[in-house]
Each structure stands twice: as C-alpha cells, then as structure tokens.
Chain A
C-alpha cells in the first residue's frame, strides 16, 4: 500500500529565501506525481505534474524533481514571497492509473 510522507509539516522562512519541500513515497511503481497548493479554506490548485519517465518539471519560480528509485520528490521555490504562504501537498498516482495518494502537506509561511 502506497504511503506518502511530507517533511517538514510546517516551515517558516523570511521573504526572498530559496526553499525546498520534501515528499517521499514507499512504492516506486508510480504513474506520476503531482504537487498542489492549498490556501486556507480553499480547494487545491495543481502546480506541477511529473510523469514517471521525467526527472523534473519547472513553472516560473517552481521546480519539482522526481527520483523514482529512491522514492523521493522535491519542490524547490526560488525567491519566496509572502504570497507563497499556503499548504503544499504532493500526491502519487499508481500504475492502476486512478486515485491520488496524498501526503499530509507542508504548511509554508513566508514572512515579509
């Protein structure tokens, strides 16, 4: 059974800092991995999707990497801004092609 873990559970950084959020998963037989952002009381916004054959994806100040063999993904945020404050969730899709298995999220706070 796939288990997804995110460390740390919470992170507070000053504005302008580069930061890395970590995601690990126990079953490397994944179809893809998706990173989401969730603002308080809101739904999930998809940030990046990495297919199992890919090593990384980039969107603006965000870069996500995937290492299937070690069961790890990282989300790199460059030059963080207060508007980046939110909970970041990673989720895997297994080879059965269906459901997302979510980590518990990292709550990020970027202080001005």
Chain B
C-alpha cells in the first residue's frame, strides 16, 4: 500500500490567493483527518470525516477554511483567501473504522508558505 498520499508537498503562494490541498487516504480506511502543525501551536486537528461525512470541524479556524470529501478515496482542504498566518505544515491522516480504536496513519504533509 502506498500509504496516505498528499499533494502538493510544497506550496508557496501570495496572500489573498486560493490554496487547495489534496489527500488520498489508505484504501479501505473510512476515517480521514486534517491536521495543521506550527511551531507555536504544535499539531492541531482541523476537521475529520467518517465515511465521507464531516464529524467534527470545530478546529477549522475561520470561514476561509473549507474541507470536502466527495468520495472515500479523496479529500480537499481549501483556504480562500490565504493569509501569511496560514503558513504551516498540513497533514492528512486516515484510519480504519470510526470508533477510535485503531491507529491513525499520516501522510508526508504539505508545507504551505503564504507570503
């Protein structure tokens, strides 16, 4: 299995531009998570899906952030408009099941820089 796949790996954009991050979870996994990592705040959950349905989006910082999971093998995290404080590493993770008893597997991350 290829593991969790994220694209792009690096993104540099100017303030005000739209940014779309993509994630392909491990095949057969039915929970998907988006996390953000910064030096100041560490790793924080933004949103997670069970069976393509958003369950908890309380970590989404503002309305500028939105996430979708149109099918079991693809999810996007969109920031519109982007701001310099959005600069961070964004991780996608997936897990078998919805109960929380199994491990989460992380992708390599997307390093976003907003200038």
- Give CA–CA (A66, B83) in the complex, Å: 40
Q: Which of A43, A89, A91, A100 contacts B109 (CB 8 A)?
A: A43
Total count of chain A residues near the partner, CB < 8 A: 26
A97 within 8 A of B: yes
Interface string of A5-42 (1 = CB under 8 A from B): 00000000000000000000000000110101000001
- Give CA–CA (A16, B45) in the complex, Å: 36
Interface residue ranges of B35-71 to A (CB < 8 Å): 35, 42-45, 48, 55-56, 59
With known contacts A43-B107, A44-B106, A102-B42, A31–B56 Cβ distance under 8 A: no
Interface-facing stretch out of B14-22, B72-80, B94-102: B94-102
B108 touches A42 (CB 8 A): yes
| Shortest Cβ distance from B42 into A: residue | A104
Total count of chain B residues near the partner, CB < 8 A: 24
B87 within 8 A of A: no
A70 within 8 A of B: no
A99 touches B33 (CB 8 A): yes
Chain B residues contacting A89 (CB-CB under 8 Å) are 43
Ranked 3 nearest A-B pairs via Cβ: A97-B100, A99-B45, A44-B106
Q: Is the interface of A mostly helix, strand, loop or mixed?
A: strand
Q: Which of B44, B59, B91 contacts A44 (CB 8 A)?
A: B91
A93 touches B109 (CB 8 A): no
- Give CA–CA (A31, B104) in the complex, Å: 13
B43 touches A102 (CB 8 A): yes
Smallest CB separation, A43 vs chain B (Å): 4
A51 within 8 A of B: yes
Interface string of A47-58 (1 = CB under 8 A from B): 001010000000
- Give CA–CA (A32, B103) in the complex, Å: 9
B45 touches A100 (CB 8 A): yes
With known contacts A99-B33, A99-B56, A102-B42, A46–B100 Cβ distance under 8 A: no
| Shortest Cβ distance from A94 into B: residue | B100
- Give CA–CA (A20, B60) in the complex, Å: 35
Smallest CB separation, B43 vs chain A (Å): 4
Chain A residues contacting B100 (CB-CB under 8 Å) are 31-32, 93-98
